[in-house]
Amino acid sequence: KLHPLSKSEVPPDYEHHDPEQKQIYRFVRTLFSAAQLTAECAIVTLVYLERLLTYAEIDICPGNWKRIVLGAILLASKVWDDQAVWNVDYCQILKDITVEDMNELERQFLELLQFNINVPSSVYAKYYFDLRSLSETNNLSFPLEPLSRDKAQKLEAISRLCDDRYKDVRRAARKRSASTDNLCGIRWVPAILS
């Protein structure tokens, strides 16, 4: 079996070993480069990743990390970048995923985030300075400039706009999950991770 991104042979136990830092970097770099995403989008992606881990109480493991990262990047690109990448565009980058799968990934990711996609400038600033400090500690370059006042206002406005846009989806998801929870008596967590 060939790996869809690198086109190299996939070891049989691929899903059972934690990915190396280089593998994660290549995956993220491939998406950011092909979709022409900004460094600011990377920070918003990180916000969403940490939110997901907190809200959904899930672990990132060898079998799910790519879908989790892809879901965070997909959402961040729609919230942050002026020219958002459409789900179909990611299908052109990742040949083994369908538009329907991308749509479902986005929907499930939003549900697991409890539709909290708002990124206040103070949260962005915290992540920015944490990353900057981490890069300095490890002697890495950090070329990204702090968020300007205009960009901070833009980020908050876009976050609110996207939040409004997803209200109908949120209502439908609540109805669906409430009726499902009442039937089975346990909380179902979508498997965006497989």
Q: Is residue 150 part of a domain?
A: no
> Is residue 177 over pLDDT 60?
no
Q: If phi over 0 gives left and psi between -120 and 50 gives alpha, with beta otherwise, what is residue 36?
A: left
Cβ-based neighbour number of residue 190 at 10 Å: 16
Residue 128, domain member (yes or no): yes
Range of the domain at 37: 21-138
- State residue 186's pLDDT score: 32
Provide mean pLDDT across the span 21-44. 88
DSSP state of 13: T
Q: Count up the domains in the chain and report the number.
A: 1
Please, which pLDDT band fits residue 6 given cuts at 50, 70 and 90?
very low
d(CA 18, CA 60): 9
Please indicate, yes or no, if residue 34 is contained in any of the structural domains. yes
174 within some domain: no
| Mean pLDDT rounded to a whole number for the chain | 74
pLDDT at 52: 92
Going by pLDDT thresholds of 50, 70 and 90, the confidence category of residue 44 is: very high
Residue 172 has pLDDT above 70, yes or no: no
* Three-point CA angle 15, 134, 129, nearest 5°: 115
Q: CA torsion angle for 21, 109, 53, 145 (degrees, to 10)?
A: 60
Q: Does this model's pTM top 0.85?
A: no
- For 132-148, the pLDDT digits (tens) are 888 888 887 776 666 67
- 165 falls within a domain: no
At residue 109, does pLDDT exceed 60? yes
Average pLDDT over residues 93-112: 85
Let me know if residue 37 belongs to a domain: yes
In a domain, 149, yes or no: no
* CATH code, 47: 1.10.472.10
Flag whether pLDDT at 124 surpasses 80. Answer: yes
